[in-house]
Amino acid sequence: MVQDSFSTVGGTFKKIRIRMTADKAIVIGAGIGGIATAIRLANKGYAVEVHEKNEVGGGKLYLIEKNGYRFDAGPSLFTQPANLEELFELSEEDIEPFFEYQKVDIACRYFYENGKIVNAHTDPKAFASEMESVLQEPAQNVLAYLKDAEKVYEKVGTIFLNHSLHKAATWLHPRVIDALKAVRWQYLFKTLDGFNRKAFQTDEAVQLFNRFATYNGSNPYSAPGMLSLIPHLEQNQGTFYPKGGMISIPKAMMALAEKKGVRFVLNSKVEKIVKEGNKVVGIEANGRFLPAQVVVSNVDAYYTYLQLLSDEKAAKQILKNERSSSALIFYWGMKKEFPELHLHNIFFSKNYQEEFDHLFRYKKFYADPTVYVNITSKMEGGQAPEGGENWFVMVNAPAMSGADWNKEVASLKEQVLKKLSRMLGKDVAAAIEVEEVLTPAGIQSRTDSYLGSLYGTSSNSKWAAFLRHPNWKDTLKGLYFTGGSVHPGGGIPLCLKSAAIVSELIPPIKS
């Protein structure tokens, strides 16, 4: 099929002849959602190209190596491996040659300023017993909460996380009536904090379960009680560790994609999505026009509209919804081992609500931040030199602009080191021999996530799920969206679900 179109390649507006290939699909961005979408489209018969501006795929998930230390730069928690396994089953490939993982007995180790330490076992009964013995939180409260989280996830989450909220067919699904019956008013009209205060007797238990709002960059004092389903994924379904670290996830996915015929074009910056009338006809990348019948954007929806579609009005509309939080991450190569730490560790702040007020209301870092420490060398050798550990140290950050990041990093480092040294009773700073830092500005630069927001928009309202951008553009045929800034949200499990939703919206190639 050949048709006339127009292009501004090289800054000159000129008429060109486009040879349209009916089976060509282009994915912009090789993040988890983009790679998964490419695999699914290849299985539907499309000739797929993925254009990635960076030198490697994986999006926020890439590898930092320095002096024998290996750090996963981005997401550090692996849950719901079934989402990944589904890609291999769909492709009729055995996952084991590509990817291996194991279940972790302790999802996270929680440290409180009052000296209490809780091991969040992935066995619900063991976890409940731990909560009772350490925090004096009745075990039945924890078990009831996790059972309720499972019920809500199975009845509500599986419908609304696996299907588009913006299609009438979703609301006509036979299971929707059961799902709506399971939605109690507390899920929508109580905040997660309010919901948790009704469920638990101790402040420590409330703080622990409030923490799950951060899994989509939200504020537990604003986000709805519906987020209480999140602990089901980690505490009931399980927490896992991928052999080789989190970087093995995009590596396995890219290897599978290439086996299915997907072509990755790295160091390829897409400058424009080219359209003709109400239809997408391709992209411009590195000054070249590339035709396609289908274009899928795996970059931030705000950036897609502002930079790739030159639609400032639509971009501003997205910014009406509050941005999610970002992160400031220290990658520390430690020359000694800390046996009191596990794979995942949380050091809580004394005043959680004040911390979130700073993050979302004042757009500032809090003086006593909650600190997350991930150490993959606890799980396998080769992640750090013998006798050392690789620390991924993260502090929640506000989505803010105009920051003096040299000043912010220096201040946060001092606060984090004082906090960890005090709570561990050891001089943490003295053990650091390697350091790298990633700021929200760095996240924005690498991934085009506006203000470094990790999940696009936050879930700080009861309508947030419905206001999140859909997986397609109804006024522009052939354009679709996948990844963390659109439905159903951010994080590896939801990005994989996003790819599944998108692939269902795109018709297969007719044989």
Q: DSSP letter string over 337-375?
A: --TT--SEEEE--S-HHHHHIIIIII-S--SS--EEEEE
Residue-wise pLDDT for 356-406, tens only, equals 999 999 999 999 999 999 999 999 999 999 999 999 999 999 998 889 999
CA distance 507 to 118: 49
16 — pLDDT class (breaks 50, 70, 90): very low
Closest Cα partner for 463 from 224, 210, 169? 224
Rounded to an integer, what distance in angstroms lies between the CA atom of residue 72 and that of residue 248?
A: 10
Exposure b/e, 338-360, CB count within 10 A at least 16 = b: beebbbbbbbbbeebeebbebbb
Q: In the predicted model, is pLDDT for residue 448 greater than 50?
A: yes
Integer Cα distance of 437 and 55 in angstroms: 19
- The domain limits of the chain are 2-56+246-320+456-505
pLDDT tens-digit readout, 91-138: 999 999 999 999 999 999 999 999 999 999 999 999 999 999 999 999
Nearest to 64 by CA among 246, 334, 336, 266: 246
pLDDT at residue number 189: 73
Region 16-35: mean pLDDT is 80
Flag whether pLDDT at 12 surpasses 70: no
Beta-strand relationship, 479-481 and 294-297:
parallel
Strand partners, 297: 28, 481
pLDDT at 150 over 80: yes
Q: CA–CA separation, 323 vs 397, rounded Å?
A: 12
Q: What integer pLDDT is reported at residue 214 of this predicted model?
A: 96
Measured CA to CA, the distance from residue 124 to residue 107 in angstroms comes to: 11
| Angle (CA) 315 215 480, round 5° | 35
Looking at per-residue confidence, does 305 or 9 come out higher?
Answer: 305
* Cα gap 173→169, rounded to integer Å: 6
Residue 105 φ/ψ region, left for φ over 0, alpha for ψ in the -120 to 50 degree band, beta for the rest: alpha
Percent of the chain past pLDDT 90, that is, above it, reads 84
> What does 303-323 look like in DSSP terms, one character per residue?
HIIIIIS--HHHHHHHTTSPB
Residues 486, 469: Cα–Cα separation, whole Å: 5
Q: Which residues pair with residue 27 across a beta bridge?
A: 50, 296
Question: DSSP 3-state helix, strand, coil percentages of the chain (rounded to 5)?
Answer: 40, 25, 35
Query: What is the rounded CA–CA span in Å between residue 263 and residue 208?
Result: 43
- Domain 2-56+246-320+456-505 classified CATH 3.50.50.60? yes
Strand partners, 104: 239
Distances (CA, A) of 198 to 131, 205, 226: 17, 11, 14
More confident residue, 160 or 397: 397
Higher pLDDT, 449 or 510: 449
Between helix 248-259 and helix 32-43 the angle, nearest 10°, is 20
Q: Longest C-alpha distance within the chain, in Å?
A: 74
pLDDT tens for 169-190 read: 776 667 666 666 666 657 777 9
15, pLDDT greater than 60 = no
CA angle (493, 495, 496) in 5-degree steps: 65
Residue with the two structure tokens 């695999």 = 39
DSSP string covering 123-143, please? SHHHHHHHHHHHH---HHHHH
Does the pLDDT of residue 322 top 50, yes or no? Answer: yes
Burial of residue 394, with CB atoms counted within 10 A of its CB: 0-12 exposed, 13-18 middle, 19 or more buried: buried
CB 256 within 8 A of CB 91: yes
pLDDT above 70: residue 73: yes
pLDDT of residue 11: 41
Give me the count of residues in the chain: 511
